[in-house]
Amino acid sequence: MTTVPANRTQAAARAAAGAAPAVNPWVVTFAVTVGTLMGALDTSVVNVALLYIRANLGATITQVAWVSTGYIIALVIVMPLTAWLGATFGRKRVYMSCLALFTASSFFCGNAHSLTMLVVFRILQGFGAGALQPTEQAILRETFPVEQQGTAMGLYGLAVMLGPAVGPTLGGWITDNYNWPWIFYINIPIGIGGLFLVNKFVHEPEYARRQGRTSVDAVGIALLSVGLGCLQVVLEQGESDNWFESGFILSMAIIAGITLLLFIWWELRIERPAVDLRILKNASFTTGTFIGGILGVSLYASMFLLPLYMQELLGYPAVKSGIVLMPRSVVMLFLMPIAGSLYNRLGPKLMIGSGLFIAGFAPFMMSHFTLESGYWDLFWPQVIQGVGFVLIFIALSTSALAGIDKRKMINATGLYNLVRQLGGSFGTAIFATMLDTQTNVGRAVLVGHINLYNPAFTQRLQMLQQAFVAQGSSAMDAQMKALKLLDMQIDQQAAMLAFDHCFFLIGLLFFLCLPLIFLLKTAKRPSGHSEPVEL
């Protein structure tokens, strides 16, 4: 008796049922990762070019900041709505439409001749990018069988985490060697290629094709859009506007708080919400999402603090600081696929626990940076942090979504990515403010030691005066120059103390998350998942 291979039997069954043909999951992965990588890159690639854009378009610093703020606001609004969009219009159609919108907006961003045009098209670009990450994550979860879920999340992590990390370096290189519009133009051929691949190789799952159009939760969508939009404005602009001393920021914060509370109440009240918050009853998913938010805080705060430290205190130019930051990205690039295969062997608790410990140890190393730190002092903490991020991200993405029903998968991925993105915004805002505050505190402490009764101060002052006199300055001029130099050194030392304090707190965040890993479960996929869903 001849035995028919299982894969042929499944293919015949699909053909008889009129289902889409099977596609190599790695081809599907490549097809959907293209757009996600571009969307992730554009969260940070434009930041190093803002000064060039400002000079070219004649804008102020506050005005040009909206080029970045507008994109992030649109991004976070769309992320939680991805499930509703997919159920209403079809997952594949939504992905392709958003990728097309992102690509077309990139062209118009590069051709913008005024700041208003650029901000408008950046907002449209953000609307397009917002649905790409959650949709890819849901597609990969359904494309790969259970035993390859860790590998799938590793590949997804390459796009989501490497994009923001590599963005500043790539943006600096493009801006220095070409011009800022090319930051947007490079998206066009890649986006067109991505559209072709998705159209050819990605297919709508059978259950999604049967869903049909759903009712529009207009109230929920409106409350979410206003709430997240105002919250993002507070996080992006609050530090530069002195937070709640600004009437505008205070108004935005109040509106955000009221509308988001109303949104939660409304979504839990209606039968078919735009965002199904009931999914948060799953303790493992909620815990994983919370840890993902902490990961976003650390990743984005580190990306904010490290370049600032290198450029302001070590005197590195923008491109050099980007190159020095590359070791973390390289480590993640090589370890993501390897660590993905370890998930089934080690389990989520061991991998995430080890990752939290390793990733938390790296900022503690950074908290010992000085004004004389060199390349290798910067190199090893990044390598260690890269290893920790890889272990956390893969296991976290896999375990958090392991017990989610496939019909709620895209809703879960939308919430998961939203919290991580908001964590990044909170992290940047909190640590930017903390850096300023701690710099002022450090300066006050150091200035307290500046008096003529302090032998160390008088000795240092006399030494500097003698050096300036030897260069030809008069005694009075030498004293003034010496005092100015000491004041500058105090500012540098105060800033250094502030950076070290911030790095220490980032490390502490990871260790505080360690007890949460016991709430994670290696959940089995719900019934009906014995076979991977072919897309």
Residue 355's CATH number: 1.20.1250.20
Q: Determine the pLDDT at residue 3.
A: 45
Residue 532 has pLDDT above 50, yes or no: no
User: Tell me: the pLDDT tens digits for 130-186?
Assistant: 888 788 877 777 777 766 666 666 667 666 766 666 777 777 777 777 888 888 888
Q: Quick check: is 151 in a domain?
A: yes
Q: Quick check: is 198 in a domain?
A: yes
Q: Which of 209, 228, 247 is a domain's end point?
A: 209
Q: Which of 273, 300, 317 is a domain's end point?
A: 273
Q: From 340, 295, 291, select the one nearest 514 (Cα to Cα).
A: 291
Give how many domains the chain has, as a whole number: 4
Q: Which of 159, 185, 209 is a domain's end point?
A: 209
Mean pLDDT of the chain: 78
Q: Quick check: is 5 in a domain?
A: no
Same domain, 471 and 392: no
Distance from C-alpha of 287 to C-alpha of 289, rounded to nearest angstrom: 5
Same domain, 117 and 239: no
**DSSP string of 279-343?**
GGG-HHHHHHHHHHHHHHHHHHHHHHHHHHHHHHTS---HHHHHHHTHHHHHHHHHHHHHHHHHH
Same domain, 157 and 287: no
User: Tell me: the pLDDT tens digits for 279-324?
Assistant: 888 877 888 888 888 888 887 788 778 877 887 888 887 677 777 8
Same domain, 486 and 508: no
Same domain, 253 and 296: no
Q: What residue numbers bound the domain in which 467 lies?
A: 444-494
How far is Cα of residue 152 from the mean position of the Cα atoms in its chain? Answer: 19
Contact assessment for residue 356 and residue 86, using Cβ atoms and an 8 Å cutoff: no
**DSSP three-state, residue 513:** coil
Distance from C-alpha of 408 to C-alpha of 208, rounded to nearest angstrom: 11
**Quick count: other Cβ atoms within 10 Å of Cβ 480?**
14
Q: Quick check: is 105 in a domain?
A: yes
Same domain, 306 and 159: no
Q: Determine the pLDDT at residue 244.
A: 80
Q: Quick check: is 168 in a domain?
A: yes
User: Tell me: the pLDDT tens digits for 11-29?
Assistant: 444 444 444 556 677 778 7
Same domain, 159 and 289: no
Q: Quick check: is 370 in a domain?
A: yes
Same domain, 46 and 102: yes
Of 141 and 213, the structure prediction assigns the larger pLDDT to 141
Confidence band for 531, pLDDT divided at 50, 70 and 90: very low
Q: Quick check: is 1 in a domain?
A: no
pTM, to two decimals: 0.75
Same domain, 28 and 177: yes
Same domain, 368 and 517: yes
Structure tokens at 328: 């973390």
Q: Quick check: is 309 in a domain?
A: yes
Same domain, 58 and 84: yes
Contact assessment for residue 71 and residue 125, using Cβ atoms and an 8 Å cutoff: yes
Same domain, 132 and 59: yes
Distance from C-alpha of 504 to C-alpha of 517, rounded to nearest angstrom: 22
How far is Cα of residue 532 from the mean position of the Cα atoms in its chain? Answer: 29
